[in-house]
Amino acid sequence: MKRVINYLFAATMFAAVATAEESEIFGGLGVSIWTGSNGVKIVGVMPGSPADGVGLRAGDLIVSINGTDLSAVNPEEQTSYLRGKAGTSIKLVVKRNGNIFSVSTKRIGISVQSLNAKEISDWYGKDKDLTAEEISYLASKKTDEGYELLGIMQYGMPISRSAENLSAQTFTQISVQKAEEAKPEAKPIQNEKEPSLSGKTKDVRLVNVKGVRVKKQGKAPAYRLR
């Protein structure tokens, strides 16, 4: 029997209800899922996530993760195979419309924060007829340092940026860790010649300057982000 987990972002699900104050950080793929005896079924994919990057989509059934057959794993423990340290590799065997294929990608650092309905209504002076653009703007203001907004979810499902007529209830913001800019390596430049007043030259060693790195509510199910 399939079991709905709260809201997952590419790593797994927990059988827990999302609360208004829920916040967590983990390494994941950016998918909402159901767990079950046959494996993990994807019910939503966050645009721009690793899962989206390798072509995963709603309806796909993940049957194996890094060589582990999920049909042999307790559904409550399946999500722990999806999550992991940011930057680590993960290989999935996926079943889609009777066809089986495999994909590999890397987990990214994900920050999940619930958006308080009262805070949304206080900000915009209304609690309905909201747009995804409005919710996203407020979410971007609450993003943790070192993270950037990837998207928003409602009842654990990704919301299109063009969505309208939304209520202020059960929103979650999904942010991803910013990629660190490559720091230039300081290398000595040898055998540079500097002219002297005597007409002779001498060797000068120059060194490059280092760079600067610059609740589940009502009857609607909530899915955990992995």
Report the C-alpha gap between 68 and 77 in whole angstroms: 12
Q: Is the pTM of this model over 0.85?
A: no
Residue 142 has what pLDDT?
86
What homologous superfamily is domain 3-109 in, according to CATH? PDZ domain (2.30.42.10)
Report the number of secondary-structure helices (H) and strands (E) in the chain.
4, 16
pLDDT of residue 87: 94
Whether 4 and 223 have beta carbons less than 8 Å apart is answered as: yes
State residue 156's pLDDT score: 83
> Which pLDDT value is given to residue 22?
61
Instruction: Map out the domains of the chain as residue ranges.
Output: 3-109, 117-179
**How far is the C-alpha of 74 from the C-alpha of 68, rounded, in Å?**
12
Tell me the mean pLDDT per 10 residues along the chain, length 226.
Answer: 39 30 81 93 94 96 97 93 95 97 96 91 94 93 88 89 92 83 47 50 43 42 56
